[in-house]
Homo-oligomer: A and B are copies of this chain.
Amino acid sequence: MSDLFSRARDWFYGLQDTITQGLEQADGRGRFREDAWQRPGGGGGRSRVLEEGDLFEKAGVNWSDVAGELPEDVAKNMPGTTRQFRATGISLVLHPRSPMIPTTHANFRCLQKGDALWFGGGADLTPYYPYREDVVHFHTTWKTVCDRHSPEHYPRFKQWCDEYFFLKHRGETRGVGGIFFDYLQAPSLDAAYQLVVDAGSAFLESYLPLVERRRREPWGERERSFQLYRRGRYVEFNLIYDRGTVFGLKTDGRTESILMSLPPLVRWIYDFKPEPGSREAQLTEYLTPQDWLGPIPAAGPYR
């Protein structure tokens, strides 16, 4: 079992290289800088951040392999006999400069706790402007990956994602979802690992095509302002609801690596309401769970 953990750790380590290289190539100008860090409690990580690139205003890709003891209230809700844990994985958040390109987040991980080991992960998309074909491309990629392993995965992981990335106090999802899964051990640990490898390998193809499609889309002050405003929701979700963030801060994780996910520049405007009928108002229709791969409604709110 600890052999599988090591294999996963090494594979995530390599995936960080693949992804950061792919992102640098897409950016053209920006370069990742790297911080290797040790965690006082055990283990460490390799954080890579690109700031002020051409394409990305901020991109963080973090790899880590940490061990420690879970607080009782966290441990009791997880499989496994002891409070000792080991966790390894890769986590990334990409904040493009252009408001026409969505923010994205992905995470793939392996946890070991006492006699239990499991995999978790997912990828989700947060657009600022509604382009249905981009959302469809993203979901299609993840459905294809999931379907190679089981026809039950995509519907289940898609729903899990919608439920997880929900801002209760706003009554809206963080974005248009994607997939989210945790405690994956079936049908075998090896099969679960293969799914995670398959998913991690698909990340660049889930995202870069829509980047290429949107990067020359024009935008100005209005779109920039709406992007900064919507980024506020991203901050609200991560600091109020996100388990990964709370888990990291509660287990004395490295603050700068955990909060790497926060957008570079954010605006809060009191009681902002987009102009009815505008593209900004249309985004609201995207922020509720829906079947992105079904037939496009001929009329009605979905475009």
Which of A82-90, A128-136, A214-222, A265-273 is the contact stretch? A265-273
Q: Is A53 an interface residue when CB atoms closer than 8 A count as contact? A: no
Q: Annotate A104-133 by CB proximity to B: 1 below 8 A, 0 otherwise.
A: 000000000000000000000000000000
Tell me what chain A mostly uses at the interface: helix, strand, loop, or mixed: mixed
Cβ contact of A35, chosen from B170, B235, B260, B271, cutoff 8 A: B271
Task: Please report which residues of chain A, range 225-279, place their CB below 8 angstroms from some CB of chain B when the two chains form the complex.
Answer: 228, 232, 235-236, 239-240, 249, 255-256, 258-260, 262-271
Q: B269 to A232, Cβ gap below 8 A?
A: no
Bound-state Cα–Cα, A232 to B228, Å: 14
Cβ contact of A268, chosen from B170, B240, B262, B269, cutoff 8 A: B262
Q: Is A51 an interface residue when CB atoms closer than 8 A count as contact? A: yes
Cβ contact of A262, chosen from B51, B232, B256, cutoff 8 A: B232
- The closest CB in chain B to the CB of A170 belongs to B255
Q: B235 to A270, Cβ gap below 8 A?
A: no
Closest chain B CB from A273 CB (angstroms): 10
* Residues of A that sit less than 8 Å from B by CB: 35, 49, 51, 58, 60, 168-170, 228, 232, 235-236, 239-240, 249, 255-256, 258-260, 262-271
Bound-state Cα–Cα, A107 to B270, Å: 19
With contacts A249-B169, A255-B170, A265-B265 taken as known, whether A270 is within 8 angstroms of B49 at the C-beta atoms is yes
Q: B268 to A263, Cβ gap below 8 A?
A: yes
29 residue pairs of the A-B complex, CB under 8 angstroms, read: A35-B271, A49-B271, A51-B269, A51-B270, A58-B268, A58-B270, A60-B270, A168-B249, A169-B249, A169-B255, A169-B258, A170-B255, A228-B265, A232-B262, A236-B239, A236-B259, A240-B240, A240-B249, A256-B270, A256-B271, A260-B270, A262-B268, A263-B268, A264-B267, A264-B268, A264-B269, A265-B265, A265-B266, A265-B267
Chain B residues, Cβ within 8 Å of A236: 239, 259
Q: A266 to B266, Cβ gap below 8 A?
A: yes
Bound-state Cα–Cα, A256 to B236, Å: 12
**Beyond A263-B268, A266-B267, 13 additional pairs, beta carbon < 8 A:** A35-B271, A49-B271, A58-B268, A58-B270, A169-B255, A228-B265, A236-B259, A239-B239, A260-B270, A264-B268, A265-B265, A265-B266, A265-B267
Chain B residues, Cβ within 8 Å of A258: 169
Bound-state Cα–Cα, A232 to B261, Å: 13
